Amino acid sequence: MKKLYYRDILGNNPRKREISLEEISDRTEARVARKWICKYFIKEKFSSKNGEELRNWMRAESRNSCRKDCHILRQADTQSGENKIICKVLGDFFVIWGKTVYKIVYVNELRIQIDG
């Protein structure tokens, strides 16, 4: 069974979005649950009619923080037979729409849980 959730995250910055995909599959020996969460945040935007100013702003921003990080965590419980693997990828990218450049920060998370 798959469920797709889309919701706005309300807070200080109203430009936050979260997309969550959840899948639970039952097998004969073990129950496997996968959850994939994608969060996107508009961190900054810059508008200009001059294309060279847009490129210079993107170059300056990419020198400051254009990153991609990956973290993997594994948890095993021998008493319950439950295993969890959590993988997080963090990064940012740019979107150009007309004469405006948006800096988008994202967090993608994959959670896999196996009950033995």
**Per-residue model confidence as pLDDT tens digits over 9-31:** 555 666 666 666 665 555 545 67
Name the residue type at position 108: N
Listed in sequence order, the residues at least 6 apart from 74 whose beta carbon sits closer than 8 Å to its beta carbon are 83, 84, 85, 86
pLDDT, one tens digit per residue, over 58-107 is 888 887 776 778 889 998 888 877 888 999 999 988 888 889 998 888 88
Angle at 91 between CA 40 and CA 98, to 5 degrees: 60
pLDDT at 15: 64
